[in-house]
Structure 1
């Protein structure tokens, strides 16, 4: 008789069948780490009543998504779910826990991977993307007593799954586990881990239907490809904005939207309004983040997200915001060139090195040097004394938290995983808005929308959409 486990590819089935108490998976992205691990969890909960598993991940989004895989496997096995609960201090606050309860007394708990959220649970554990936790060492130390104390429900199992995240920093503990048990095995270790390594090439060889060349071209980043798909360990990586730092900037007085009348009023009043615009067209959205400077604090007034909208339509919607602002910094790469040209033609360019000081729009080419300027500056805005205020919002919090500072060979870069929601587009837009507020331009009367510059340049050069 066939079982749902027959859905697994050979390398996934080997992972589920491995009953080692301590098990680590160094797996490429998109090869089924959580899918396979949650199969093992659900089978254990079915077979052993009153079993508890805890899933922890670097972000609440990842923890909840992983828990969703358990829900899918429960349906596949026709293992009824008695109820589901979610706990937050208040609506929009960071998740405390999400749980699935079964009639046989088993349960699965999902939490963000922070020391204070994992401490105290007596459970088997799945730490997904463990190398990307804010503080893996502190989290591991907080959870270790609950899985090593046999008096608290018997012996517990530990599952660590992750892509690599460097040899130092947050990725150090995961790297050392893989090194000491797989790459350079050390004899006589008291805790032995069963380590499974699966690169994207391994997964495709065993039947994963992925076009490797197409995927590599889409990533277009050798460092990211080596780390996330070939399971290589780079030097180090750290989250740009930890949850605790984001929390200090959250305020219910910061807002995500404003009606049209506010923009008209702000423009007439000559307020200290600044825009950061990260352009997107097909895969990612365009995000326009609006800050208003009140005293020494930058208050978020709007986080506008535009999906699947042509460049012309985006510009039409953004025109009232350009009119109201003192300065806008706009992503001038790829499709953003078209939007940038339209904005400069109507509101003038701000480019001090070319003695252009009366325009509103700074065109930002996304070079490594620019990233090395805007993202550390954004981090400083969140540090004490915090000079920026953002809305209390799960999507915003998750987007900001996803941005990584990566070090390889002494070079710094800033990357974020691509998800269905985008590519940390809100974080980039906020970084650009903070840059706009650092160097405000002179207020000028805008030219009529659609006007062309006298030099004869076509205002639609580079326009897409």
Structure 2
């Protein structure tokens, strides 16, 4: 039974308990609000999107992540471009912020066209090269018998030159030139065109949030549609998910699913799921981008011991940790490609924070791939050094490392520098300048599909934690809760940032072999770098 008014309860957002959500959904069912109505292809809030774009020339939609609004927008695009000119048909121009989004939208539109029975032209679905000021850019389109088409374009304002129709801007908050694109599209309205701007929020200072605020304040004559996670759930989102996965829906199952989702997002849940822009410029890496770079079967090896264990004799601790290394680390190290250069990053903690070792191998395509990640909680410094040394001694073509050298990390980073050389294992004292210089490259790797990371909820939470504050990537002084119920503080992000920076470092390892002199001695030196090239 609910202990609060339903509407008052829903206003609490992610603070609603699992028990209260299950009770709310039971009352929804009793009141006839079941959601996911039988026979309806689109869920209620998706239908509302189409109704809003039909009634307004410009619609701004702020949404929760993964609620299927882009899927509904693709249906809207098909209904618009498949119609005749007399029926209001026109070209649809789609702009996401990367190529993968464009391809996915065109595939979804083609699916809708087949589902609706709309006639395609002889060309149908195709890839083509779009001329972007003399530079050929890959683009995609669906062409209809009506003579109109859906085209996925480059997300640059000049891509709209000479065009007319219905513009769909997807994940608008992540476009580099959002306001310029909107300005370039406004002339569409003169000739009956439309604009749909959809996005999850990306910080309160972002151009998308300013657009929303202007529309709500009446400064812009735009319709605003808002769909957060709880509204989507009450309209039947999880019921639709259960129908697809074959699971049985119940208020209790939905409440459990919702609670896990919010816990996984941590403090990013407000922005990711409840349309509340974060302060300070948004997350450095958003959840959708992080998930897109997750690969299967990448182990995250975790070791935790009690405080009492740390007081055991050193020989006992060393022996137990050695056994753990042989059982868990040896197989994954042996499975790594011996021909690829490997870098590693490390962030150190003891009780409140984790120690994380994150290796990265660089493929011949320059993509960085994670072979495994190690997380240590409440492990004595001596055993952290033991584990780190075990890893580094066995990394194939170990090229470079960067380790946290602030506070408790100072001693450990110094030990790595002494063993592996200061030019190869660099102690790093994190600063605003260092973040500004290195975070953009890591973010570009995520955006350009240049990195592969483990599919892990806790790591995702760590990577989502940093935000932009005054133009500087910053880890806020808040702790998130991991899947094990214990606190975290972005430690995996720092370790990955170090590893990625190390993988880009221009480090040359030297070796030498004595060469016999003419008199039979060996006082000459032949030097070569790690690639086997003679240096002198």
**Normalised TM-score (structure 1):** 0.60
Which residue of 496, 501, 505 corresponds with 1:434?
501
2:441 matches 1:378: no
1:85 is aligned to 126
2:450 matches 1:396: yes
2:308 is aligned to none
2:199 is aligned to 162
Change (3 A) 1:217 1:380: closer
2:74 is aligned to 38
Q: CA deviation at 1:398?
A: 12
SS of the aligned residue for 1:98 comes to strand
Q: CA deviation at 1:52?
A: 0.3
2:209 matches 1:148: no
SS of the aligned residue for 2:338 comes to helix
The 2-side partners of 1:406 and 1:4 are apart by 42
SS of the aligned residue for 2:61 comes to strand
Alpha carbons 2:82, 2:145 under 8 Å: kept? no
1:225-374 matches, within 5 Å, as: 225-237=269-281, 282=296, 312-318=330-336, 320-321=338-339, 328-329=344-345, 332-333=356-357, 336-337=373-374, 342-346=390-394, 352-354=413-415, 356-359=417-420
Q: CA deviation at 1:88?
A: 3.6
Alpha carbons 2:228, 2:275 under 8 Å: kept? yes
Alpha carbon RMSD of aligned pairs, Å? 4.7
Q: CA deviation at 1:57?
A: 1.1
Worse-matched range after superposition: 353-362 or 70-79: 353-362
2:156 matches 1:127: no
Count of equivalent residues: 341
Q: Which runs of 5+ in 2 are unaligned?
A: 1-36, 239-253, 286-292, 301-327, 348-355, 359-371, 376-386, 404-411, 454-462, 477-491, 513-536
1:201 is aligned to 230
The 1-side partners of 2:126 and 2:79 are apart by 21
The 2-side partners of 1:94 and 1:313 are apart by 46
2:361 is aligned to none
Q: CA deviation at 1:78?
A: 1.6
The 2-side partners of 1:414 and 1:80 are apart by 52
Alpha carbons 2:201, 2:276 under 8 Å: kept? yes
1:37-76 matches, within 5 Å, as: 37-49=73-85, 51-76=90-115
The 2-side partners of 1:340 and 1:396 are apart by 26
Q: CA deviation at 1:9?
A: 1.2
2:15 is aligned to none
Which residue of 3, 8, 16 corresponds with 2:50?
16
Q: Which runs of 5+ in 1 are unaligned?
A: 242-278, 287-309, 383-387, 416-424, 446-465
Q: CA deviation at 1:85?
A: 2.4
The 1-side partners of 2:107 and 2:40 are apart by 20
1:297 is aligned to none
Deviations 1:390-413 (A, max 9, x none): 9xx9643999xxx99732599734
The 2-side partners of 1:282 and 1:372 are apart by 33
Change (3 A) 1:132 1:122: same
